[in-house]
Amino acid sequence: MRKSTIAAMAIVVALSLWLWSGSDAKQHDVEQSATALNTAPVSLLKVQYRHSVASDIERVVKIQGQLEPFRSAVLRAETEETIKEIHVEKGQQVSKGDLLFSLELGDRMERLAEAKAQLLQYQVKLKGIKKLGKTNLSSENSLREAETNLAAANTQLAAIKLDIKHTRIRAPFTGIVNDYLIEVGELVQMGDNLATLVECSRLLATAQVPQLTAGKFSLGQALEIITAADERIKGTITYISSVADEATRSFRIEAEIDNRDRGVAAGMSATLAIPADNVSAHFISPAHLTLGNDGSIGVYIVAEEDRVQFFPIRMLRNESAGTWITGLPEKVRIVTLGQGFVINNQKIIPIAEPDKTAAAAGAVL
């Protein structure tokens, strides 16, 4: 019994020693594997870049605006009377002085004849008093009264003539009868709207310019107006407000454009493209743009120690072949391939973009 107990204890001790020695070996293997991983070379990402040197270009400020008639007038009744005749159609071109509407004369001609007769009467009376004054047969008061009556008669005659003139509504300038709001037989009161006359042979492109930009423009400066139909028209700045709008703190700007061919309609929205100043910019393909961690638009460049660096940019002008941007140093290596797989400050293997001119020449040869 004692021998069997001793044998069992010996087996347990031997087994424990064997397990301990195996665990130590495994631990040694794990440590060796970790060391190998830490010392293994890291595979760097290859990205393609091209050299870019900034150029001075003209910065164009684009402002949303609209096209307005060069002149617009609401014609109003200047006397009370019934509409007798309408001489024009809506949309008709008229010249300055053309008759647009006629009102009934009423008793105005009778009042005119009466005013003329009264004027003649006071003229004769004044003449007689002056003759009597030479013989001291008339007083100074009689002379003054006669002169006053004559002046009043002249005023009354002028008033009735003006009232008759107001029954003939004429065009104050050459333009288009855009609309009228009356019909024959309708009674109009003094001040009632009759029609709207607009001049569209010239148009005004107007916009509200931000206060930080307004000082960059000047009267007589050329600009381009881009209509909603993508028509491009040359114009000239004719007005810049000296006082900012109280609500928006922006300044009204007007540019005149020639529209004698009636190619553009007033009331359309338009973009005013105004040259402002020269800035240093790089020309790139839009495909080279990417997003930063904060969502800003920018590009990656190859910086020192072959690490990529993200630069947020501002787009100045789009052209068919690419985009002009600012926000980069004067000379940079812009990442053109692989920018979607890198992060800021990541070390990479930079590869210069092939010279397309040389490649094309080689293909020809």
Give the domain range for residue 141.
Answer: 76-194
Alpha helix segments (H runs only) across 93-215: 108-134, 140-165, 211-214
Same domain (yes/no): 298, 226? no
Chain-centre distance for alpha carbon 224: 11
Same domain (yes/no): 290, 351? yes
Q: Is residue 158 part of a domain?
A: yes
**pTM listed for this prediction:** 0.64
- What CATH number does the domain containing 330 carry? 2.40.420.20
Q: Is 344 in a helix, a strand, or coil?
A: coil
Query: In this predicted structure, what is the pLDDT of residue 350?
Result: 93
Same domain (yes/no): 217, 262? yes
Q: Is residue 120 part of a domain?
A: yes
Q: Is residue 35 part of a domain?
A: no
Under a CB-based contact definition with an 8 Å cutoff, are residues 301 and 289 in contact?
no
Same domain (yes/no): 182, 208? no
In this structure, the dihedral spanned by the alpha carbons of residues 138, 139, 140 and 145, taken in order and rounded to 10 degrees, is: -80
Under a CB-based contact definition with an 8 Å cutoff, are residues 324 and 317 in contact?
yes
Local structure of residue 307 (DSSP, 8 states): B
Mean pLDDT along residues 314-321 = 88
Using alpha carbons only, give the angle 6, 12, 14 rounded to the nearest 5 degrees: 100
Query: In this predicted structure, what is the pLDDT of residue 42?
Result: 58
Which of 152, 172, 194 delimits the end of a domain?
194
216 vs 221: CA distance, rounded Å: 10
Number of domains in the chain: 3
Higher pLDDT, 172 or 276: 172
Query: In this predicted structure, what is the pLDDT of residue 15?
Result: 42
Higher pLDDT, 136 or 220: 220
Radius of gyration, alpha carbons of the chain: 46
- What CATH number does the domain containing 157 carry? 2.40.50.100
Q: Is residue 25 part of a domain?
A: no
Which of 256, 277, 298 delimits the end of a domain?
277
Same domain (yes/no): 83, 116? yes
Mean pLDDT along residues 91-113 = 96
Same domain (yes/no): 261, 296? no
Same domain (yes/no): 346, 316? yes
Q: Is residue 365 part of a domain?
A: no
Same domain (yes/no): 180, 82? yes
- What CATH number does the domain containing 226 carry? 2.40.30.170
Under a CB-based contact definition with an 8 Å cutoff, are residues 194 and 86 in contact?
no
Confidence tier at 359 by pLDDT (50, 70, 90): very low
Same domain (yes/no): 226, 283? no
pLDDT digits (tens, 9 = 90+) for 226-240: 998 889 999 999 999
